[in-house]
Amino acid sequence: IYSKSGQFQYALSDNDTKTRRYPVTCLKFYANKDDLKVDHQKMLAATYTAGYVKIWHYSTQQCVFTFDETERQPLALDFNSTYTHLFVAGSDCAINCYDFTTKKLIHKFQASQSRENMDGHKSRIHAIRSHPTIETIFLTGGWDDTIHYWDERTLHSQKHFPGPHLCGDALDIVAEHQVILTGSWRKSSTLQIWDFTTGELIKDVFKNNATSMLYCTKFSLKEYILCAGNDKNEAIIYDYSKLKMVGGITDLENGVYCADTDVNRLNMIVGSGKNIFIVNDKSRIR
C-alpha cells in the first residue's frame, strides 16, 4: 500500500500468501462512512487465485479473516452500497454473497438449469460492480461477452445484454447519468457506454480506432473515465463529456493490468508488469 504522495507504507502477507504465492486479482477498500468504528476504516478486501479472499487491517498488516474459496479461483469482488454484504465472483461462473458482519455465506448467485433462459454466466466472471445507491442490485461481466443484472432477492440474473468481453476490472456504474461503462479486451469497440435501464448501447467510443485492449475501466471524479490495458501499454484519463484524452502514461514496457485514481484528485496508480507507477495530476511519473 502506498500513500497519496507515492511513498511505500505497508506490505500485506501471512502464512497463506507466503506458502502459496498466487496472484491477487482484485482489491477493494472497506469505505463505509456510516461505520463509526475507526479500525473498520482501515480494512481492505483482496481475492487470491490460490482460492481464498482475505480481509486485511492494513495499518497493522494483519489478516482479520479469510474466506475459503478453494473450490474455485476468486477473480473479482465488491461490497454492496451499504457495505453489509461482500460479493465474490470467480472461475465457476457464480457469485458468492457473504454477510460482512458474520462472515457467513448467505447466497450463491448463478445460472439456472434452464436451456431456454440465459439467467447467468457461462464462463469466468472477471468484473463485478454494485449499484452505488440501490442496495440489492449489482452487475457482472466476463469471458462470455455478456453483462448480467442481479438482484439479491433472486438467485438468477434478472436480465442481460451482449457485447463486452471483460478480462479485468473493467465495469462501472455511473448513477448520476444512469449509464454503464465497459472496457473490453479486444482490438475494436473497447470502451463502450450503455444505458443502465435498457442495456442499449449509447456510445461505442473507439469502434475502429482503439489504441489498447482494456483490462481496466472506471469512472472517476464525476467527470472523467480511466482506461488501461495492453497493446499500447497505457493508462489514459478521458473527459467524460467530450471523450477526449486529458492525461495519462503510454508506451510502457509491459501491459497495464490494473489502475485506479484518487477519490479527490486525478492522481493515478498504475500496475504494469513488475512496476507500479504513481502519476500526479500534472502527469509527472514518480
Domain boundaries, the chain: 15-162
CA-to-CA dists, residue 88 to 48, 96, 130, 241, angstroms:
11, 5, 11, 32
Mean pLDDT of the chain: 94
pTM of the model: 0.94
Please list the residues that pair with 47 across neighbouring strands: 26, 53
Are the CB atoms for 111 and 135 separated by under 8 Å?
A: no
- Mean pLDDT value of segment 122-145: 98
pLDDT of residue 282: 62
Q: Report residue 282 CA to chain centroid gap.
A: 25
pLDDT of residue 123: 98
Dihedral in degrees, nearest 10, Cα atoms 92, 95, 100, 104: -60
What b/e sequence results for 157-186 when a residue is b if at least 16 CB atoms lie within 10 Å of its CB, and e otherwise?
Answer: beebbebbbbbbbbbbbbeebebbbbbbbe
pLDDT of residue 7: 87
- pLDDT one-digit tens code per residue, 146-176: 999 999 999 999 999 999 999 999 999 999 9
pLDDT of residue 166: 99
Collapsed DSSP state (helix, strand, coil) of residue 209:
coil
Choose among 37, 82, 76: nearest CA to 57. Answer: 37
Reported as a pLDDT band with limits 50, 70 and 90, residue 2 is confident
CA angle (261 as vertex; 196, 84 as ends), nearest 5: 60
Lowest-confidence region among 65-69, 211-215, 264-268, 273-277: 264-268
Please say if the pLDDT value at position 236 is more than 70.
Answer: yes
What is the CATH T-level fold of the domain 15-162, as seen in this structure? Methylamine Dehydrogenase; Chain H (2.130.10)
What b/e sequence results for 218-241 when a residue is b if at least 16 CB atoms lie within 10 Å of its CB, and e otherwise?
Answer: bbbeeebbbbbbbeebbbbbbebe
pLDDT of residue 286: 38
Other Cβ atoms less than 10 A from the Cβ of 274: the count is: 7
Q: What is the DSSP letter of 133?
A: S
- pLDDT one-digit tens code per residue, 29-85: 998 888 878 778 899 999 999 999 999 999 999 999 999 999 999 999 999 999 999
* Of 243 and 6, the one with more pLDDT: 243
